[in-house]
Protein backbone atom coordinates (compact mmCIF):
# COMPACT_ATOMS: atom_id res chain seq x y z
CA UNK A 1 0.00 0.00 0.00
CA UNK A 2 1.11 3.47 -0.79
CA UNK A 3 0.64 5.80 2.15
CA UNK A 4 -0.61 9.31 1.83
CA UNK A 5 1.28 12.16 3.41
CA UNK A 6 -0.93 12.93 6.36
CA UNK A 7 0.73 15.63 8.41
CA UNK A 8 -1.53 15.21 11.42
CA UNK A 9 -1.26 11.45 11.60
CA UNK A 10 2.46 11.61 11.11
CA UNK A 11 2.87 14.18 13.84
CA UNK A 12 0.88 12.13 16.31
CA UNK A 13 2.79 9.01 15.46
CA UNK A 14 6.12 10.72 15.67
CA UNK A 15 5.37 12.22 19.08
CA UNK A 16 5.79 8.72 20.44
CA UNK A 17 8.92 7.87 18.55
CA UNK A 18 11.33 10.44 17.28
CA UNK A 19 9.25 13.42 16.41
CA UNK A 20 10.77 15.90 13.96
CA UNK A 21 9.98 19.58 13.98
CA UNK A 22 7.46 20.76 11.43
CA UNK A 23 7.22 24.14 9.79
CA UNK A 24 4.32 24.89 12.16
CA UNK A 25 6.55 24.23 15.18
CA UNK A 26 9.08 26.70 13.81
CA UNK A 27 6.38 29.29 13.14
CA UNK A 28 4.99 28.91 16.66
CA UNK A 29 8.42 29.12 18.27
CA UNK A 30 9.30 32.24 16.29
CA UNK A 31 5.89 33.84 16.67
CA UNK A 32 5.40 34.23 12.92
CA UNK A 33 3.19 32.70 10.24
CA UNK A 34 3.93 29.54 8.33
CA UNK A 35 4.33 31.66 5.19
CA UNK A 36 7.00 33.78 6.84
CA UNK A 37 9.02 30.68 7.73
CA UNK A 38 8.69 29.57 4.13
CA UNK A 39 9.85 33.00 2.95
CA UNK A 40 12.89 32.89 5.19
CA UNK A 41 13.84 29.55 3.66
CA UNK A 42 13.10 30.38 0.05
CA UNK A 43 13.33 34.16 -0.30
CA UNK A 44 15.21 35.53 2.71
CA UNK A 45 15.77 38.85 0.93
CA UNK A 46 12.10 39.75 1.23
CA UNK A 47 11.98 39.20 5.02
CA UNK A 48 12.96 41.88 7.57
CA UNK A 49 16.37 41.20 9.11
CA UNK A 50 15.06 40.96 12.66
CA UNK A 51 12.33 38.48 11.68
CA UNK A 52 14.78 36.49 9.60
CA UNK A 53 17.13 36.15 12.59
CA UNK A 54 14.30 35.04 14.89
CA UNK A 55 13.11 32.38 12.44
CA UNK A 56 16.66 31.20 11.76
CA UNK A 57 17.16 30.83 15.50
CA UNK A 58 13.98 28.74 15.84
CA UNK A 59 15.00 26.55 12.90
CA UNK A 60 18.34 25.94 14.53
CA UNK A 61 16.97 25.25 18.04
CA UNK A 62 14.31 22.84 16.79
CA UNK A 63 16.69 21.19 14.34
CA UNK A 64 14.11 21.69 11.63
CA UNK A 65 14.93 20.08 8.25
CA UNK A 66 12.72 21.70 5.69
CA UNK A 67 13.85 19.49 2.89
CA UNK A 68 11.37 16.80 2.01
CA UNK A 69 14.30 14.50 1.37
CA UNK A 70 14.87 14.45 5.10
CA UNK A 71 11.50 12.90 5.58
CA UNK A 72 12.05 10.61 2.63
CA UNK A 73 15.22 9.34 4.20
CA UNK A 74 13.43 8.62 7.46
CA UNK A 75 10.36 7.05 5.96
CA UNK A 76 11.83 5.77 2.71
CA UNK A 77 8.66 7.03 1.11
CA UNK A 78 8.40 9.57 -1.67
CA UNK A 79 4.61 9.64 -1.94
CA UNK A 80 5.20 9.67 -5.67
CA UNK A 81 3.54 7.51 -8.30
CA UNK A 82 5.37 6.80 -11.53
CA UNK A 83 3.67 6.43 -14.88
CA UNK A 84 5.22 6.10 -18.29
CA UNK A 85 4.36 8.05 -21.39
CA UNK A 86 4.81 6.56 -24.83
CA UNK A 87 6.39 8.72 -27.47
CA UNK A 88 3.56 10.73 -29.05
CA UNK A 89 2.16 8.60 -31.84
CA UNK A 90 -0.64 10.83 -33.11
CA UNK A 91 -3.93 9.28 -34.04
CA UNK A 92 -7.42 10.07 -32.93
CA UNK A 93 -7.58 7.78 -29.92
CA UNK A 94 -4.22 8.58 -28.32
CA UNK A 95 -6.02 11.28 -26.39
CA UNK A 96 -7.60 8.72 -24.04
CA UNK A 97 -4.36 7.93 -22.21
CA UNK A 98 -3.50 11.62 -22.03
CA UNK A 99 -6.88 12.28 -20.43
CA UNK A 100 -6.12 9.55 -17.93
CA UNK A 101 -2.77 11.18 -17.07
CA UNK A 102 -4.55 14.53 -16.58
CA UNK A 103 -7.09 12.90 -14.29
CA UNK A 104 -4.48 10.91 -12.38
CA UNK A 105 -2.45 14.07 -11.78
CA UNK A 106 -5.47 15.92 -10.51
CA UNK A 107 -6.73 13.13 -8.27
CA UNK A 108 -3.25 12.40 -6.95
CA UNK A 109 -2.78 16.08 -6.07
CA UNK A 110 -5.95 16.03 -4.02
CA UNK A 111 -4.51 13.11 -2.04
CA UNK A 112 -1.12 14.84 -1.56
CA UNK A 113 0.56 12.39 -3.88
CA UNK A 114 2.93 13.29 -6.71
CA UNK A 115 3.01 11.98 -10.25
CA UNK A 116 6.34 11.42 -11.97
CA UNK A 117 6.58 10.74 -15.67
CA UNK A 118 9.10 8.65 -17.55
CA UNK A 119 9.46 7.87 -21.21
CA UNK A 120 9.73 4.33 -22.50
CA UNK A 121 9.38 2.84 -25.95
CA UNK A 122 9.14 -0.82 -24.98
CA UNK A 123 8.05 -2.85 -21.93
CA UNK A 124 11.72 -3.71 -21.33
CA UNK A 125 12.71 -0.03 -21.32
CA UNK A 126 9.82 0.71 -18.99
CA UNK A 127 11.09 -1.97 -16.62
CA UNK A 128 14.56 -0.39 -16.61
CA UNK A 129 13.09 3.03 -15.88
CA UNK A 130 10.92 1.70 -13.08
CA UNK A 131 13.93 -0.09 -11.63
CA UNK A 132 16.06 3.06 -11.62
CA UNK A 133 13.37 5.23 -10.07
CA UNK A 134 12.46 2.61 -7.52
CA UNK A 135 16.09 2.02 -6.59
CA UNK A 136 16.54 5.74 -6.18
CA UNK A 137 13.56 5.96 -3.87
CA UNK A 138 11.97 8.40 -6.27
CA UNK A 139 8.73 6.49 -6.67
CA UNK A 140 6.75 4.33 -4.25
CA UNK A 141 4.30 2.85 -6.69
CA UNK A 142 3.57 2.75 -10.38
CA UNK A 143 0.65 2.72 -12.72
CA UNK A 144 1.11 0.70 -15.88
CA UNK A 145 -1.12 1.11 -18.91
CA UNK A 146 -1.82 -0.89 -22.03
CA UNK A 147 -1.58 -4.34 -20.48
CA UNK A 148 -1.42 -7.38 -22.72
CA UNK A 149 -1.39 -11.17 -22.20
CA UNK A 150 1.98 -12.24 -20.72
CA UNK A 151 2.93 -8.65 -19.84
CA UNK A 152 6.52 -8.80 -18.44
CA UNK A 153 6.01 -5.57 -16.46
CA UNK A 154 3.38 -7.10 -14.19
CA UNK A 155 5.59 -10.09 -13.50
CA UNK A 156 8.61 -7.87 -12.75
CA UNK A 157 6.60 -5.69 -10.36
CA UNK A 158 5.03 -8.67 -8.60
CA UNK A 159 8.43 -10.33 -8.10
CA UNK A 160 9.86 -7.21 -6.46
CA UNK A 161 6.80 -6.41 -4.40
CA UNK A 162 6.40 -2.94 -5.89
CA UNK A 163 2.89 -1.61 -5.29
CA UNK A 164 1.18 -1.07 -8.62
CA UNK A 165 -2.09 -1.03 -10.41
CA UNK A 166 -2.73 -1.41 -14.12
CA UNK A 167 -5.10 0.48 -16.36
CA UNK A 168 -6.06 -2.60 -18.32
CA UNK A 169 -6.83 -6.14 -17.24
CA UNK A 170 -4.16 -8.78 -16.61
CA UNK A 171 -5.90 -10.74 -19.42
CA UNK A 172 -5.36 -13.99 -17.56
CA UNK A 173 -7.67 -16.90 -16.92
CA UNK A 174 -9.85 -15.44 -14.16
CA UNK A 175 -9.19 -11.71 -14.14
CA UNK A 176 -12.21 -10.80 -12.09
CA UNK A 177 -12.49 -13.56 -9.50
CA UNK A 178 -8.79 -14.16 -8.88
CA UNK A 179 -6.73 -11.53 -10.67
CA UNK A 180 -2.95 -11.74 -10.50
CA UNK A 181 -2.74 -8.05 -9.52
CA UNK A 182 -4.80 -4.91 -8.89
CA UNK A 183 -6.32 -3.44 -12.02
CA UNK A 184 -8.80 -0.91 -13.29
CA UNK A 185 -10.37 -1.20 -16.67
CA UNK A 186 -13.26 0.03 -18.71
CA UNK A 187 -15.93 -2.52 -19.53
CA UNK A 188 -15.60 -2.32 -23.31
CA UNK A 189 -18.23 -4.96 -23.98
CA UNK A 190 -20.75 -3.07 -21.85
CA UNK A 191 -20.01 0.05 -23.90
CA UNK A 192 -20.52 -1.52 -27.32
CA UNK A 193 -23.58 -3.37 -26.02
CA UNK A 194 -25.11 -0.06 -24.97
CA UNK A 195 -24.20 1.50 -28.32
CA UNK A 196 -25.76 -1.45 -30.15
CA UNK A 197 -28.96 -1.31 -28.09
CA UNK A 198 -29.24 2.40 -28.84
CA UNK A 199 -28.81 1.76 -32.57
CA UNK A 200 -31.36 -1.08 -32.50
CA UNK A 201 -33.88 1.16 -30.77
CA UNK A 202 -33.39 4.25 -32.93
CA UNK A 203 -32.06 3.16 -36.34
CA UNK A 204 -33.23 -0.38 -37.09
CA UNK A 205 -32.32 -4.02 -36.53
CA UNK A 206 -29.41 -4.26 -38.98
CA UNK A 207 -26.52 -2.95 -36.87
CA UNK A 208 -23.13 -3.84 -38.36
CA UNK A 209 -19.80 -3.87 -36.52
CA UNK A 210 -16.57 -2.29 -37.77
CA UNK A 211 -13.81 -3.81 -35.64
CA UNK A 212 -10.10 -4.46 -35.44
CA UNK A 213 -8.70 -7.76 -36.74
CA UNK A 214 -9.34 -10.58 -34.24
CA UNK A 215 -6.68 -11.21 -31.60
CA UNK A 216 -6.49 -7.87 -29.79
CA UNK A 217 -7.90 -8.43 -26.32
CA UNK A 218 -9.55 -5.00 -26.20
CA UNK A 219 -11.02 -5.27 -29.67
CA UNK A 220 -12.36 -8.79 -29.12
CA UNK A 221 -13.98 -7.64 -25.88
CA UNK A 222 -15.75 -4.77 -27.62
CA UNK A 223 -16.97 -7.06 -30.37
CA UNK A 224 -18.48 -9.39 -27.77
CA UNK A 225 -20.65 -6.53 -26.51
CA UNK A 226 -22.08 -5.95 -29.99
CA UNK A 227 -22.85 -9.67 -30.45
CA UNK A 228 -24.42 -9.92 -27.02
CA UNK A 229 -26.77 -6.99 -27.69
CA UNK A 230 -27.74 -8.35 -31.12
CA UNK A 231 -28.49 -11.76 -29.62
CA UNK A 232 -30.56 -10.23 -26.85
CA UNK A 233 -32.38 -8.14 -29.44
CA UNK A 234 -33.40 -11.24 -31.37
CA UNK A 235 -32.03 -9.81 -34.58
CA UNK A 236 -31.28 -13.17 -36.15
CA UNK A 237 -34.91 -14.02 -35.89
CA UNK A 238 -35.59 -11.11 -38.23
CA UNK A 239 -33.70 -12.98 -40.95
CA UNK A 240 -30.60 -10.79 -41.09
CA UNK A 241 -27.11 -12.21 -40.71
CA UNK A 242 -24.96 -9.86 -38.63
CA UNK A 243 -22.21 -8.20 -40.67
CA UNK A 244 -18.77 -7.65 -39.21
CA UNK A 245 -15.89 -6.07 -41.14
CA UNK A 246 -12.42 -5.19 -39.89
CA UNK A 247 -9.79 -2.53 -40.42
CA UNK A 248 -6.63 -1.63 -38.58
CA UNK A 249 -6.61 1.64 -36.61
CA UNK A 250 -6.42 3.99 -39.60
CA UNK A 251 -9.02 6.44 -40.86
CA UNK A 252 -8.29 6.06 -44.58
CA UNK A 253 -8.30 2.27 -44.51
CA UNK A 254 -11.47 2.23 -42.41
CA UNK A 255 -13.07 4.46 -45.04
CA UNK A 256 -12.14 1.99 -47.77
CA UNK A 257 -13.40 -0.98 -45.80
CA UNK A 258 -16.66 0.75 -44.92
CA UNK A 259 -17.30 1.88 -48.50
CA UNK A 260 -18.87 -1.45 -49.50
CA UNK A 261 -20.85 -1.63 -46.30
CA UNK A 262 -22.49 1.77 -46.69
CA UNK A 263 -22.97 1.57 -50.45
CA UNK A 264 -25.39 -1.33 -50.09
CA UNK A 265 -28.75 -0.85 -48.47
CA UNK A 266 -28.23 -3.78 -46.08
CA UNK A 267 -27.45 -1.95 -42.87
CA UNK A 268 -29.20 0.55 -40.61
CA UNK A 269 -26.26 1.60 -38.44
CA UNK A 270 -22.60 0.81 -37.67
CA UNK A 271 -21.08 0.35 -34.22
CA UNK A 272 -17.29 0.85 -34.33
CA UNK A 273 -14.46 -0.37 -32.11
CA UNK A 274 -12.86 3.12 -32.07
CA UNK A 275 -13.45 6.72 -33.12
CA UNK A 276 -10.77 6.45 -35.81
CA UNK A 277 -12.77 3.73 -37.50
CA UNK A 278 -16.02 5.64 -36.91
CA UNK A 279 -14.58 8.73 -38.62
CA UNK A 280 -13.51 6.56 -41.57
CA UNK A 281 -16.98 4.97 -41.76
CA UNK A 282 -18.61 8.41 -41.57
CA UNK A 283 -16.47 9.71 -44.44
CA UNK A 284 -17.48 6.66 -46.48
CA UNK A 285 -21.14 7.29 -45.65
CA UNK A 286 -20.87 10.94 -46.72
CA UNK A 287 -19.25 9.83 -49.97
CA UNK A 288 -22.04 7.32 -50.56
CA UNK A 289 -24.67 10.00 -50.11
CA UNK A 290 -25.77 8.69 -46.69
CA UNK A 291 -24.34 11.37 -44.37
CA UNK A 292 -27.02 10.71 -41.75
CA UNK A 293 -26.25 6.97 -41.42
CA UNK A 294 -25.94 6.40 -37.65
CA UNK A 295 -22.34 5.54 -36.79
CA UNK A 296 -21.21 5.13 -33.20
CA UNK A 297 -17.56 5.33 -32.17
CA UNK A 298 -15.60 4.47 -29.05
CA UNK A 299 -13.53 6.88 -26.88
CA UNK A 300 -15.55 10.06 -27.37
CA UNK A 301 -12.59 11.95 -28.82
CA UNK A 302 -12.59 15.55 -30.03
CA UNK A 303 -12.72 14.23 -33.61
CA UNK A 304 -16.02 12.39 -32.97
CA UNK A 305 -17.37 15.45 -31.21
CA UNK A 306 -16.39 17.72 -34.10
CA UNK A 307 -18.17 15.50 -36.61
CA UNK A 308 -21.25 15.09 -34.43
CA UNK A 309 -20.81 11.32 -34.04
CA UNK A 310 -22.12 9.45 -31.02
CA UNK A 311 -19.40 7.66 -29.10
CA UNK A 312 -18.77 5.55 -26.03
CA UNK A 313 -17.02 7.63 -23.36
CA UNK A 314 -14.38 5.77 -21.31
CA UNK A 315 -14.61 8.08 -18.26
CA UNK A 316 -10.84 8.30 -17.62
CA UNK A 317 -11.56 10.33 -14.51
CA UNK A 318 -13.29 7.33 -12.92
CA UNK A 319 -10.44 5.10 -14.00
CA UNK A 320 -7.98 7.43 -12.23
CA UNK A 321 -10.05 7.43 -9.03
CA UNK A 322 -10.27 3.65 -9.16
CA UNK A 323 -6.51 3.30 -9.64
CA UNK A 324 -5.73 5.52 -6.66
CA UNK A 325 -8.33 3.83 -4.48
CA UNK A 326 -6.70 0.48 -5.18
CA UNK A 327 -3.19 1.82 -4.53
CA UNK A 328 -4.25 3.47 -1.28
CA UNK A 329 -6.18 0.44 -0.12
CA UNK A 330 -9.70 1.16 -1.22
CA UNK A 331 -10.52 4.50 0.35
CA UNK A 332 -13.50 4.56 -1.98
CA UNK A 333 -14.14 8.13 -0.98
CA UNK A 334 -15.25 9.17 -4.41
CA UNK A 335 -18.13 7.68 -6.31
CA UNK A 336 -17.41 5.21 -9.00
CA UNK A 337 -19.00 2.03 -10.16
CA UNK A 338 -16.49 -0.17 -8.41
CA UNK A 339 -16.81 -3.74 -7.34
CA UNK A 340 -17.32 -4.61 -3.67
CA UNK A 341 -14.98 -3.15 -1.03
CA UNK A 342 -11.83 -5.18 -0.72
CA UNK A 343 -11.96 -6.22 -4.33
CA UNK A 344 -8.76 -6.21 -6.31
CA UNK A 345 -10.22 -4.54 -9.37
CA UNK A 346 -12.45 -1.72 -10.52
CA UNK A 347 -14.41 -2.16 -13.73
CA UNK A 348 -15.70 1.20 -14.91
CA UNK A 349 -18.88 1.11 -16.93
CA UNK A 350 -18.52 3.48 -19.86
CA UNK A 351 -21.28 5.81 -20.96
CA UNK A 352 -22.71 6.33 -24.43
CA UNK A 353 -22.65 9.97 -25.51
CA UNK A 354 -25.47 10.35 -28.00
CA UNK A 355 -25.20 13.06 -30.63
CA UNK A 356 -27.85 13.86 -33.14
CA UNK A 357 -26.25 13.29 -36.50
CA UNK A 358 -27.40 16.57 -37.97
CA UNK A 359 -25.26 16.89 -41.05
CA UNK A 360 -25.22 20.35 -42.56
CA UNK A 361 -27.82 20.32 -45.28
CA UNK A 362 -26.35 20.67 -48.74
CA UNK A 363 -26.96 24.11 -50.12
CA UNK A 364 -26.96 24.81 -53.81
Which 74-113 positions form the footprint of a copy of itself (CB under 8 A)? Answer: 76, 78, 80, 85-88, 90-92, 94-95, 98-99, 101-103, 105-106, 108-109
Closest CB to a copy of itself among 55 and 307?
307
Quote the least distance from Cβ 99 to a copy of itself, whole Å: 5
- Which one among 13, 19, 61, 160 touches a copy of itself, defined by CB under 8 A? 160
Bridge partners for 299 per DSSP: none
* 3-class state of residue 160 by DSSP: helix
Closest CB to a copy of itself among 138 and 220?
138
Total Cβ atoms within 10 A of residue 39: 18
Q: Are 130 and 116 in contact (CB under 8 A)?
A: no
**Interaction between residue 302 and a copy of itself (CB under 8 A):** yes
Closest CB to a copy of itself among 171 and 212?
212
Q: Are 118 and 153 in contact (CB under 8 A)?
A: no
Q: What CA dihedral angle connects 215, 220, 221 and 224, to 10 degrees?
A: -150
Question: What is the per-residue DSSP string for 13-80?
Answer: HHHHTTPPP-HHHHHHHHTS-HHHHHHHHH-GGGS-HHHHHHHHHHHHHHT----HHHHHHHH----E
For residues 121-140, which are near a copy of itself according to CB under 8 A? 129, 131, 133-138
- Which one among 12, 68, 292, 339 touches a copy of itself, defined by CB under 8 A? 68
Q: Are 241 and 303 in contact (CB under 8 A)?
A: no
**Interaction between residue 303 and a copy of itself (CB under 8 A):** yes
Q: What CA dihedral angle connects 327, 331, 337 and 338, to 10 degrees?
A: 50
For residues 199-228, which are near a copy of itself according to CB under 8 A? none
**Interaction between residue 67 and a copy of itself (CB under 8 A):** yes
Count of residues of this chain found to bind a copy of itself when the rule CB under 8 A is applied: 76
Closest CB to a copy of itself among 9 and 214?
9
Closest CB to a copy of itself among 241 and 363?
363
Quote the least distance from Cβ 284 to a copy of itself, whole Å: 7
- 3-state SS record for 296-312: EEECCCHHHHHHCCEEE
Closest CB to a copy of itself among 120 and 246?
120
Closest CB to a copy of itself among 245 and 353?
353
Nearest CA among 262, 302, 270, 290 for reference residue 359: 290
- Which one among 218, 247, 274, 276 touches a copy of itself, defined by CB under 8 A? 276
Contact residues for 287 (Cβ-Cβ < 8 A; gap 6+): 255, 259
**Interaction between residue 360 and a copy of itself (CB under 8 A):** yes
Amino acid sequence: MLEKIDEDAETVKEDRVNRSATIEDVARAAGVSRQTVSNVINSPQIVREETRARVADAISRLNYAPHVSARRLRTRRSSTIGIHLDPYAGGISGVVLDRFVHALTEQAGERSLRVMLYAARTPEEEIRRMGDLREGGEIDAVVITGTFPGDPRAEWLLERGVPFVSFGRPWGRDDVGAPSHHWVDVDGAAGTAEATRHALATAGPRVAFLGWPAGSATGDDRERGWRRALDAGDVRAAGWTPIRVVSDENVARARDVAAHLVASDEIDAIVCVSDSLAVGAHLAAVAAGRPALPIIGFDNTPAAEALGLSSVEQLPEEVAVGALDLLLGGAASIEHRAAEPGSAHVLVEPRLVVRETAPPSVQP
